[in-house]
Each structure stands twice: as C-alpha cells, then as structure tokens.
Amino acid sequence: MNLDQRKLKLTAVFEPAPEGGFTCHFEELPEIFSEGETVDEARANLWDALEQVMAYHREEAHKSTSPGAVREELQLAAS
C-alpha cells in the first residue's frame, strides 16, 4: 500500500450518561475521553481532548529528543 493512501481510523464510542447527555471515548485510546449534552457536542469535545493529549505528548517528546532527530509530520486522511 502506498503511504499516501493510508488512513488512520479511530472508533468513538458514545454512551448515554445517567445524568443526561453522553460520555465518550476512543476504543483504541480509552484514556482519551470526554462528554457533552448531545452526541455532536460530545464528538467535538472528544476531538478537543485528543488534540490536547497529542499537544502535551509532542511538547514532552521535544524535551527528550536528541538534537539529531528528524521530525516528520504525517497527515491523517479523512474517511
């Protein structure tokens, strides 16, 4: 498979919360979770949580990466 044709897919799980609204997480990354009053709001909040976790790990990685390391940004294709 050509690298340009690869797609990364995450599965979001939305569950009704007892107090109303929805909780959500990624099946593949259960440590990333959020909530919202509607599925759309929960989805947006889940993406925000993913972006925040990735930004944190990126900053931490920059602190410990050797000076000669090569960084390459990979774009994830939308399905």
- The per-residue pLDDT for range 8-55, each reduced to its tens digit, is 889 999 999 999 999 999 999 999 999 999 999 999 999 999 999 999
Neighbours of 46 (CB within 10 A): 25
Neighbours of 21 (CB within 10 A): 16
Measured between alpha carbons, how far apart are the two ends of the chain, in Å?
A: 16
Q: 2 pLDDT band (50/70/90 cuts)? A: low
Neighbours of 39 (CB within 10 A): 14
pLDDT for the residue 30: 94
